[in-house]
Structure 1
């Protein structure tokens, strides 16, 4: 699934639009991605779209983030530290952090490694059409796709 998300980012980063779900599905299929991975990635993105608005209205920007037990089990220490670093460096907002955590928890049985956290952060920022620093994009794309299946 993460290979599909990275492919979408690489294809549409900087574009003023993202094609509709059916068009994306066809393009991903032509590009050789497995239908199950395509469906999983597009469902994941659709859920991100739906939750972006809700989180924007409900997450407050102050205070200390304390992880629930479920989150501690799902996100490794390196991922939590990376999110903290990005937030402290003002590379992501508290709302974006919460969206990243939500999307990582949506992985359920996979667990979230640093590679998953980087790609998820990239997708959250891209989905919100946030301008991204080139160095941040490079760091977030620094992942090992063969280890993410």
Structure 2
């Protein structure tokens, strides 16, 4: 499923090509690209739920940013995110790429992925997909894009 999300992001969204809106046409294209129908449906549902997160009624906790709170990862989140991935999320929070809402959206989307292997690179792409879909976060998207595609010159910390 993650491969399909990457395919869609790289071929439509990130390349700024016109997004195919018709569900059947998109499914046909993904099938021709070699993806299984069941995985295509999962990926499209994942994207629909990402769009649904924009609705304040979908996940009411996204509207309640606690002041001065510290985010503690659940056992399930720790099972999906290794220590470098957890540290990277905290880093993005500290430098302002993610805020309370976008961080929780990223975690929501990460936890819904059904891949057994999940790496720091995968997390970076999920963050980019979430930021792309959040209006008003264009600067954060650009900053994350820089973190994803540019090789650092030295230490991050």
Q: Fold conserved (TM > 0.5)?
A: yes
Any gaps of 5 or more consecutive residues in structure 2?
A: 151-157
Residues 59-78 of structure 1: pairs in structure 2 closer than 5 A: 59-60=64-65, 62=67, 63-78=69-84
Quote the residue 1:9 is aligned against: 9
Residues 79 and 112, structure 1, Cα contact 8 Å, conserved in 2 = no
Of 93, 96, 108, the match for 2:102: 96
Q: Which has the higher helix share?
A: 1
Normalised TM-score (structure 2): 0.73
* Higher-Rg member (1/2): 2
Q: Deviations over 1:109-140 (max 9, x none)?
A: 6253212211211111122254221x522543
Q: Which has the higher contact order (CA 8 A, sep 6+)?
A: 1
Quote the residue 1:147 is aligned against: none
Task: Measure how far apart 1:30 and its partner are.
Answer: 3.0
Task: Measure how far apart 1:2 and its partner are.
Answer: 1.9
RMSD: 2.7
Any gaps of 5 or more consecutive residues in structure 1?
A: 143-149
Normalised TM-score (structure 1): 0.76
Pair 1:37 & 2:42 matched: no
Residues 111-122 of structure 1: pairs in structure 2 closer than 5 A: 112-122=118-128
Of 137, 144, 148, the match for 1:136: 144
Aligned equivalents of 2:78 and 2:40: distance in 1?
28
Task: Measure how far apart 1:48 and its partner are.
Answer: 1.7
Residues matched between the structures, number: 141
